Amino acid sequence: MGQPPQKWDKIIDLFFQHPSKSFQLREIARLSSIPKTTVQRAVRELLKTKIIVIKKNTTFPAYIANESNFWYKFYKKYSILEKIYASGLVAFLEESFHPRCMILFGSSAKGEYLRESDLDIFLLAIENKINLVKYEKKLKHKINLLFKEDFNMLNSELFNNIINGVKLSGFIKLK
């Protein structure tokens, strides 16, 4: 956690942030500031694991995220989790609100987020206003906090969405 981005991370992050966009090798190299030969090696590895696939209806080979691949969603989900913890957001929210539990839910928790997606975080705590601009800039995502003092105050659909999210801290006691 908190390590500088590795070359693999920069490359795969392009596919995480733009899952429906196809990229050619030179474009990946330019956008990630990584030499083309290094990009070629990384792309070969990503193709082997089927995290990305070749888009065939183009003049030059183009690569696109394989959103139906288990490993794509797995790495995408844990990539955003690593960024959330490394940014200091979880520690900041713990210090500010002392929640009994904190849960990431919605598209981010499922590994289905886009660059424009919000980060939805549930806090089992008393609501207070707080400035999250610093963390929104670090994470490049808007942050939506949902506060409740008791799980029983949630409607069943929202409750299920939250409970199937990723616990960031604390514990969940249902009964």
CATH superfamily, region 82-170? Beta Polymerase, domain 2 (3.30.460.10)
pLDDT at 132 over 90: yes
Query: In the chain, what are the domain boundaries?
Result: 7-68, 82-170
Rounded Cα gap, residues 142 and 25, in angstroms: 30
pTM of the model: 0.86
- Band (13; pLDDT cuts 50, 70, 90): very high
Q: Domain 7-68 is of which CATH architecture?
A: Orthogonal Bundle (1.10)
Which amino acid, one-letter code, is at 53?
V
Rounded alpha-carbon distances, angstroms, from residue 68 to 52, 71, 72, 73, 144: 10, 9, 8, 8, 27
